[in-house]
Structure 1
Amino acid sequence: IFDVVVSPGWTPVWSMQDAPWPESVPMDWTVLAPAWDSEPEALRHVMPLLPSRPQAGAGAVRRERRQRAATRRAMDCAKKSEDSACMTVTPSPNSAVGQAYCAELSAQLEAGGEARDAALAAIRGRVVDFSFDALACRVVQLAISVASRSVAAPLVEELRGHIPACIESPAANYVIQKIIEVMPLSAVQFVSEELEGMGAETARHRYGCRVLCRLLEHHAGDAGSQGATARLITEVLDHAVPLCFHAFGHHVVECGIEHGSVEQQHDIALALQENILRACKHRSGTYVLQKALLFCPPRDQQAIAGAILSYPGNLAVLARNNFGASVVKTLLQMPQDALGGTAQNIIDASSPHEDCKNVRRVFRALQSRC
């Protein structure tokens, strides 16, 4: 409610064209004319400011409410985008090296000879700071790659005691991966030692899963049954079931299937068979399942395929599922002896007139296989 000063003989005019009806104004908004002792009694009344508009229906009110909410969300998103654009990440003064200096060191490392020796000398003693820098971490990776093992080993040792922090860093985790890729197992054992007891947690980390994948790819066969790396791999794969269904953990289990020992592959296959339906319909689980159908020993492949095809109706259910359809596609790529007589049993119990296109496609593919 607003008080408007009204003089005798003056009529308020509201231009509807210039000022449309505000959404926040109530429909019965009125303006009160003040009462003056000197003015006629006729001015002491409630004077409408705007003509009333028709009462909106419930559906129209809901639509307007949704439109206003959508507008507010769009404005909030725009504000967040502006705030993010204004935030620039700058390296810490303790570890910032500068783009020009990084380019100079990289050129010296690639040149070889005395230039490389000078660059390695400049890096020595600063590996930790360089590793946590978004630019200089690439210089450290290049240095470890081009230097001889005897020269690279002291550089690697500078990171001892910093592995958990490196796992958390979007820059330093790449340095750890490079160390695992190019250095022998004896030089990377300290990485596994510092991660022992944190295997499952590391596998579920967006950067930690990469480090564990590199360990499995490059040192699973060298680890044997002794040492910190073997213990860490065993610790991680003991949690295969929950990791199969994790957005980052499933990458580690897949590497375990592809590069692990026969015993480790068998253990993962057993875990999948116990959770076969869940794995067939889960985004991450289907990735692990497909890897197992391709890389596990033949007896485990047959066991997994048998678990999937144990009931004729399972295949039709999976073919209708977005994730299960990829598992069915992998099954159709397997050798005939891996499927055994199960495929023929499914054909006998299925209908070629299914309403789902994926199911009909699977049915035709099975017919061509038998």
Structure 2
Amino acid sequence: QNVLKDPRMMNPQFGYDYLPGSGLQDPSSNRDLLTASQKDLHSMLAGHDEASLGFRANDLAYDPRRMHHPAPSLSPEYRKAALLQLHQQQQQQHGFYSPNGGSMDSLGSPSAMDYAGNGLRASEMNHADARATAAARAIHAAAEKKLRLQSQQILMQQQQLMLMRQQQQQQLQQQHQHQHQHQHQQQQHQHAQQPHSHGHKQTRTRSKNNNNNHNQHSQVSSPKHHHVSQHKNGGDHAKSGADSDHNNGGPGVSSRGHQGDDVKDNENDPGHGLRSPLLEEFRSNKSNKKYELKDIAGSVVEFSGDQHGSRFIQQKLETATEEEKAMVFDEILPHALQLMTDVFGNYVIQKFFEHGAQEHKSVLAKQMDGHVLSLALQMYGCRVVQKGLEHVLSDQQAVLVKELEGHVLKCVKDQNGNHVIQKAIECVPAEHIQFIMNAFTGQVYTLATHPYGCRVIQRMFEHCVDTKTPLMDELHRYIPNLVQDQYGNYVIQHILERGNPTEKSLVVSKVMGQVLQLSKHKFASNVVEKCVAYGSPSDRQKLIEEVITTKPDGTSPLVLMMKDQFANYVVQKMLDVVDGEQRDILVAKIKPHLQSLKKYTYGKHLITKVEKLMALQEPRSALDGFIASPALSIRTLTPTPNSPIVANASATPA
């Protein structure tokens, strides 16, 4: 990776200077290297024969530290020294070596006259000279070729690196654009809601490893379920505006930004286009005029598709006269289906279901004929369908839900459609939704372990009392698995809270014998708490006895539970619901371990609860001791025989 970032890191032993950004050498900066190469070549030639010369030449070619570009021409001095060494070697071998040597000619070679006395021919010396020069040039040619190949490789690597960086930058830009669009549409969606609508208080969470949130201890039948938000105006706000499809059930009215950005004109959609002067004046309201519904006559549809205009119409419809409602209704009716799927317009339709005349509700329900399924699966349309099921008459309820037959499971598993199925179970008479019960048969476990299906199953057990028995029997087979499932545990909690005594006892019986193991489980601990809180007194007593009884191996389930990040909540719940002797036993067994509990972050709540109970026990014990001592009371106060103190003293303490 360093090589890709900087070609100079290819070999830290290189002595080359590089041109910026090219990875190529600057030949003009290699004069020192030339001298080093000459010295290496000189030492190589000295004292070696031709075979050895070839071997060292190969070594030189493979050593990048001895490379040079371009190949140098040998200087006369260099050639003179090399040939002199070679000549002296040959003289020693033949026995006629002269240490003084002879003079050099103008070309740097020994003259034929100097060598004639020793019997060495000038042709032999010329041959040796040529051989040395050729070897040097071959070495530098090989080095130059290798350097050229390495330079090409470096250039290719640099090009690949630049391409990779460009691709990464493009990906980052695309991600940034998507995030910006997502945040913008979320803000758009939030501003469309009325201040009083939506939002539910979350219940306490549990800490896992002091950082991770534990499963919420919430009323599972209420909208507090932390996986799906049931909203006041219907639908699911967990999905951003970017995911909405305004074409479900007809072309949608434009969802304008909260900053009032203009949109392109669309002749087929009355909500598109530039804002009219009336809407612009209303939004700015520089004159502080108090607008009424009659002031926007002719522009109701445009106002319905605007964030501020929609809110204005909603507020006015709550107190509008029949004439004003009729005026608004007549304008929105031709575009009702479009407004049902609009981010702002859907709230106007919902207000008509709430505050309109029964005739208005009936006509709006007929507008949904043939489009109920597509509306139920759409982010904003599902809220309109829910509101319609709440306010239309039973015969129209039956017509609306009939369109969902054959698509029940699809709706249940959809983040928008599941709310429509829940509302149908809550509002529509049982004889009209039997097809929903039939679709659940054989699917109870699958739905109970689904993030949306678990809520639908809860609504079914809550409202379909007469038809739930077969489904309840199917559910009982899976209780051991459901109590430990992240979604299924909510279904079991719901049965413990709202089921009949037989159903509750059946669940408690599945928990008995494994209270410690289930209490230490992140999800099952919720179920154990509900068993303690909603079980019968006899079932509760059995659960507590299982906890406070020491096992044959000497371990105490209560001590282990107190120090567990999840099980300690079960112990707290036991202290909340029990009283009398059982609570005193629990406190007595916990008290010796209070000091060690301080080491655990999740133990502070249990310590606080136990200390409060201990503080309550002390005054009660003192009072009991005083009342249980009649002799002391009589000696001190000398009451009359009919006094209340004497009567209390003779009574058995509570």
**TM over 0.5, yes or no?**
yes
Give yes or no for contact 1:257–1:296 (8 Å, CA) kept in 2. yes
Amino acid at match of 1:176: I
For residues 341-352 of structure 1, the aligned pairs below 5 Å read 342-343=585-586, 346=589, 351=592
Partner AA of 2:488 in structure 1: G
CA distance 1:7–1:260, shift in 2 (3 Å): same
- Any conservation in 2 of the 1:109–1:120 contact (CA below 8 Å)? no
- Determine helix, strand or coil for the equivalent of 1:274: coil
Larger radius of gyration: 2
Aligned to 1:36: 70
The 10-residue stretch of structure 1 (333-342 or 267-276) with the greater mean CA deviation from structure 2? 333-342
Alignment of 1:113-124 (within 5 A): 113-124=358-369
Q: Give the aligned partner of residue 332 of structure 1.
A: 575
Letter in 2 for 1:260: G
SS of 1:322's partner is: coil
Counterpart of 2:425 in structure 1 is 180
- Residue 438 of structure 2 corresponds to 193
Q: 1:251: Cα distance to partner?
A: 0.5
Q: Tell me, in whole angstroms, the C-alpha distance in 1 between the residues paired with 2:31 and 2:581.
A: 92
Q: Are the aligned partners of 1:6 and 1:33 in contact in 2 as well (CA < 8 Å)? A: no
CA separation of 1:108/1:9 partners in 2, compared to 1, >3 Å: closer, same or farther? closer
Per mean C-alpha deviation after superposition, the further-off stretch among 184-193 and 276-285 is: 184-193
Alignment RMSD: 3.5
1:302–1:338: 8 Å Cα contact kept in structure 2?
no
Secondary structure in 2 aligned to 1:205? coil
* 1:108 to partner: Cα distance: 3.2
Inter-partner Cα distance in structure 1 for 2:443 and 2:387: 29
- Equivalent position of 2:414 in the other structure: 169
Asked whether the equivalents of residues 587 and 610 of structure 2 are also in contact (C-alpha less than 8 Å), the reply is no
- The within-5 A match list for 1:286-301 is 286-301=525-540
What's the offset of the Cα at 1:172?
A: 0.5
Q: Which amino acid aligns with 2:444?
A: G
Stretch moving more, 302-311 or 241-250: 302-311
Number of the residue aligned with 1:160: 405
Give the drift of 1:105.
Answer: 3.1
- Which whole-Å deviations, capped at 9, do the CAs of 1:335-363 have from their partners, x for residues lacking one? 3258377437736xx62564222375566
| TM superposition shift of 1:276 | 1.1
* CA shift in 2, pair 1:188/1:297, >3 Å: farther
Mark the CA change 1:356 to 1:135 in structure 2 (over 3 Å): closer, same or farther. same
Note closer, same or farther for the CA distance 1:137–1:9 as it changes in structure 2 (3 Å cut): closer
Say if 1:344 and 1:36 are closer, same or farther in 2 by CA, change over 3 A: closer
Report matched runs for 1:94-109 at 5 Å. Answer: 94-95=248-249, 98=252, 100=305, 101-102=339-340, 103=345, 104-109=348-353
Aligned length: 316
Give the counterpart of 1:234 among 461, 465, 473.
473
Q: Per-residue deviation at 1:258?
A: 1.0
Contact 1:257–1:264, Cα closer than 8 Å, also in 2: yes
The amino acid across from 2:534 in the alignment is: F
Instruction: Tell me the distance in 2 between the aligned counterparts of 1:79 and 1:282.
Output: 43
Q: Distance in 2 between matches of 1:180 and 1:254?
A: 20
Contact 1:167 1:207 in 2 (8 A): yes
Q: Show CA shifts across 1:117-149 (max 9, x none).
A: 221110122111111111111110000001122
Matched residue type, 1:320: K
Alpha-carbon distance between aligned partners in 1 of 2:26 and 2:65, rounded to the nearest angstrom: 11
Deviation at 1:83, TM superposition (A): 8.0
Unpaired stretches in structure 1, ≥5 consecutive residues:
13-29, 47-74
The structure 1 segments of at least 4 consecutive aligned residues displaced by more than 6 Å after TM superposition are 43-46, 77-80
How far off is 1:365 after superposition? 5.5
Q: 2:448·2:454 contact (CA, 8 Å) conserved in 1? A: yes
Aligned partner of 1:356 in structure 2 is: 597
Amino acid paired to 2:563: R
- Aligned twin of 2:501: 262
Change (3 A) 1:360 1:187: same
1:127–1:140 contact (8 Å) kept in structure 2:
yes
Deviation at 1:186, TM superposition (A): 2.7
Whether the 8 Å contact between 2:244 and 2:378 is mirrored in structure 1 is no
Percent of aligned pairs with the same residue?
20
Residue aligning to 1:149: 394
Greater CA drift, 234-243 or 304-313: 304-313
Q: 1:4 aligns with which of 9, 14, 24?
A: 24
Corresponding residue number in structure 2 for 1:247: 486
Q: Which residue of 1 aligns with 2:624?
A: none
Gapped runs of 5+ residues in structure 2? 1-9, 12-22, 33-63, 75-135, 145-168, 183-241, 254-304, 306-338, 618-654
Q: Distance in 1 between matches of 2:396 and 2:581?
A: 50
TM-score (normalizing by structure 1): 0.74
Cα 1:112–1:169 change in 2 (3 A) is: same
Matched residue type, 1:105:
I
Q: Structure 1 residue 80: deviation in Å?
A: 9.6
Match of 2:57 in 1: none
